[in-house]
């Protein structure tokens, strides 16, 4: 087993500046350092101590099926080696350029956050290449990746997948059955998102639960157009994430492409929807997220599932939506406390458990 551990040492340099007070001096030095007018070089360093950078999970569920790590996904992924069975990613679409929409009778700004600010085409390609590559390095040979988007980012994503040697399996069109109206009345109403499904290797076969998808589609082959509603109110019981995906969408993705017990990673975990669907369906989850607020929300959502009444309620809603089968003996119906995953799983070498 191989684990990557980062050792941090301290560089120190004393400088003298003219100032009225110690506080002013510190302010001036900080500015000089920020402007790179003071540079700490390896020659001058005085190492008095070092530390091994910890990566303690932000949260780990009691049965170890749901773990959250805080940090930039590319940087966090560079810290460990582990092969996942499936990746779901809902990356920034780079839509937050000050646009407006209509919600509950009000005109609202649709900006999501700093992380979603528009980028140039070159910057977007570079960003997508870096995180997709980081995920690819953590996929088992037969693993698959699902990446969502709109026309703003999805063509860049497709290009990077090809560059990195993925085989594209499908492009799902998620047709929202209840899209918000277009307030300008100068375009067709936006009602779709796309989800590219690709496998890591051109040659290694992937897993597709054909029979279940067919069964759920009234014994007809399921097509690549999925008519599912946008997020419902009951899914926001722990707060609002501006781009939260519906559980039904993630449940279908997980059931179509993984077996029970599979390890799933979401590098842009947000409110943890992928993990909640994974947990409901008996899969294991690692979510990476930079914002504390969303980690907090994800944790609250996972804690809700400790109540078997809530778990059954959510599964029942997914059954009614037709995305999970109506079976009492479904693996997923067991309460989380019934199924405690092993502390250290040698075949996976999971460093964060
Ligand atoms: C589109 S949202 C994902 C929403 C998620 N699918 C859900 O259902 O809640 C993208 C998320 O990625 C996070 N994010 C943005 N850049 C990131 C990065 N470099 N590493 C990790 N997380 C990042 C944002 O804070 C945001 O919560």
Quick: pLDDT tens for 210-255: 999 999 999 999 999 999 999 999 999 999 999 999 999 999 999 9
244 close to ligand 1 (CB < 6 Angstrom) = yes
194 touches ligand 1 (CB under 6 Å)? no
DSSP 340: P
User: Among the ranges 47-51, 55-59, 108-112, 119-123, which has the highest mean pLDDT value?
Assistant: 119-123
Residues 301 and 250: their CA atoms lie apart, in Å, by: 15
> Which of 93, 174, 270, when mutated, tests ligand 1's pocket best, judged by the most ligand atoms within 8 Å of its CB?
270
Nearest-atom number in ligand 1 for the CA of 271 is 9
For 168-177, how does the pLDDT look when each residue is reduced to its tens digit (9 = 90+)?
Answer: 999 999 999 9
**296 pocket-lining for ligand 1 (C-beta < 6 Å):** no
* Ligand 1 lined by 160 (C-beta under 6 Å): no
Q: Could you tell me if the CB of 117 is within 6 A of ligand 1?
A: no
Does residue 99 register a pLDDT over 80?
A: no
- Cα–Cα distance, 115 to 97 (Å, whole number): 11
Q: How far apart are CA 175 and CA 158, in angstroms?
A: 20
Ligand 1 pocket member 92 (CB < 6 A): yes
Q: Whose CA is nearest to atom 18 of ligand 1?
A: 72
Our answer on whether the CB atom of 76 is closer than 6 Å to any ligand 1 atom is no
289/253 Cα distance (integer angstroms): 20
CA distance 149 to 81: 27
The answer to whether residues 275 and 298 touch, using CB atoms and an 8 Å cutoff, is: yes
What was the pLDDT predicted at 332? 47
Contacts of 134 (CB under 8 A, 6+ apart): 73, 74, 77, 78, 267
Of 40-44, 245-249, 348-352, minimum mean pLDDT range: 348-352
Looking at the chain, the domain(s) classified CATH 3.40.50.150 span 57-338
CATH 3.40.50.150 fits 57-338, yes or no: yes
* pLDDT for position 112: 77
In 3D space, the residue among 65, 95, 91, 101 whose CA is nearest the CA of residue 270 turns out to be: 91
Residue 95 φ/ψ region, left for φ over 0, alpha for ψ in the -120 to 50 degree band, beta for the rest: alpha
Average pLDDT rounded to a whole number, residues 260-285: 96
What's the CA-to-centroid distance between 71 and ligand 1, angstroms?
A: 11
Q: Is the CB of 90 under 6 A from ligand 1?
A: yes
Of the candidates 53, 76, 78, 58, which has an alpha carbon nearest to the alpha carbon of residue 68? Answer: 58
What is the rounded CA–CA span in Å between residue 312 and residue 307? 9
Residue 294 Cα to ligand 1 middle (Å): 9
Indicate the average pLDDT of the chain. Answer: 87
pLDDT band at 335 (very low <50, low <70, confident <90, very high): very low
The pLDDT value recorded for residue 317 is: 96
Ligand 1: atom nearest CA of 131 is 19
Q: Which of the pair, 79 or 216, is modelled with greater confidence?
A: 216
Structure confidence by residue, pLDDT tens digits, 181-199: 888 899 999 999 999 999 9
Predicted local distance difference test score (pLDDT) of residue 192: 97
Q: What percent of the chain has pLDDT over 90?
A: 66
Residue 287: CB within 6 Å of ligand 1?
no
159 or 97: which leads in pLDDT: 159
Helix (H) or strand (E) holding 263: strand 263-266
CB 160, CB 126: distance < 8 Å: no
Q: How many CB atoms lie within 10 A of CB 255?
A: 22
Residue 14 confidence (pLDDT): 86
How far apart are the CA of 83 and the centre of ligand 1, in A?
Answer: 21
pLDDT at residue 6, as a whole number = 65
Residue 321 gets which letter from DSSP?
T
Report the nearest atom of ligand 1 relative to the CA of 298.
9
Atom of ligand 1 nearest to the CA of 116: 15
pTM: 0.81
Our answer on whether the CB atom of 96 is closer than 6 Å to any ligand 1 atom is no
What pLDDT is recorded for position 347?
35
Query: 245 CB under 6 A from ligand 1?
Result: yes
């Amino acid at each position: 087993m191989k684990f990557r551990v980062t050792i941090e040492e301290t560089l120190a340099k004393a400088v003298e500046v003219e100032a009225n007070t110690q506080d002013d001096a510190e302010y001036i030095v900080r500015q000089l350092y920020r402007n790179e007018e003071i540079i700490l070089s390896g020659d001058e360093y005085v190492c008095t101590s070092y530390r091994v950078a910890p990566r303690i999970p932000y949260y780990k569920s009691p049965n170890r099926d749901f773990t959250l790590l805080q940090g930039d996904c590319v940087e966090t992924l560079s810290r460990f080696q582990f092969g996942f069975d499936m990746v779901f990613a809902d990356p920034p679409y780079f839509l937050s350029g000050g646009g407006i929409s209509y919600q509950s009778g009000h005109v609202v700004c649709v900006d999501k956050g700093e992380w979603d600010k528009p980028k140039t085409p070159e910057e977007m390609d570079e960003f997508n290449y870096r995180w997709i590559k980081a995920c690819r390095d953590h996929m088992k040979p037969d693993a698959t990746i699902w990446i969502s988007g709109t026309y703003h980012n999805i063509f860049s994503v497709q290009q990077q997948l090809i560059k990195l040697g993925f085989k594209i399996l499908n492009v799902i069109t998620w047709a929202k059955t209840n899209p918000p109206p277009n307030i300008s009345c100068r375009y067709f109403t936006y009602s779709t998102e796309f989800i590219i499904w690709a496998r890591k290797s051109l040659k290694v076969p992937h897993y597709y639960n054909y029979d279940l998808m067919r069964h759920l589609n009234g014994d007809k082959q399921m097509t690549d157009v999925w008519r599912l509603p946008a997020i419902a109110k009951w899914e926001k019981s722990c707060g609002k994430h501006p781009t939260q995906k519906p559980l039904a969408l993630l449940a279908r993705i997980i059931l179509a492409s993984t077996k029970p017990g599979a390890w799933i990673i979401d590098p842009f975990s947000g409110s943890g929807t992928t993990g909640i669907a994974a947990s409901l369906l008996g899969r294991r989850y690692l979510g990476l997220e930079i914002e504390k607020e969303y980690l907090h929300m994800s944790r609250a959502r996972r804690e809700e599932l400790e109540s078997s009444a809530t778990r059954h309620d959510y599964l029942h809603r997914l059954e009614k939506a037709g995305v999970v089968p109506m079976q009492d003996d479904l693996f997923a119906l067991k309460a989380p406390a019934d199924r405690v995953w092993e502390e250290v799983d040698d075949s996976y070498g999971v460093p964060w458990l």
